Amino acid sequence: MVRISCDVCGRVKNRADQGWILGYDLQVETRTGLQRSVQFLDHWYDRRAPEFGAIHLCSEKCRDKYLEESRAA
């Protein structure tokens, strides 16, 4: 069984929870530098949640905080 938790606040997702945000934060290193792409899906997909680079956010507030922190990095 896969346990999903918010990547910002740590809240654990229950099956009945609505409003969770699934996205991807991927980095690609090339000879000339590092590229980073953050993308959010339009709704939650249980089957895609455990994929490489997936990010799990429990609310819009956590999404905004994640983006804010990722810009600072």
24: amino acid identity, one letter? Y
- Stronger pLDDT, 58 or 30, i.e. the higher one: 58
Q: Tell me the whole-structure pTM to 2 decimals.
A: 0.86
Contact 73, 25 (CB under 8 A): no
CA–CA dist 2, 36 (Å, integer):
26
Return the H-helix or E-strand segment holding 34. strand 34-40
**How far is residue 1 from each of residues 15, 44, 50, measured CA to CA in Å?**
12, 17, 11
12-47 pLDDT, tens digit per residue, is 999 889 999 999 999 889 899 888 889 999 999 999
Judge whether residue 73 has pLDDT over 90: no
Dihedral (C-alpha) 59, 64, 69, 70: value to the nearest 10 degrees? 100
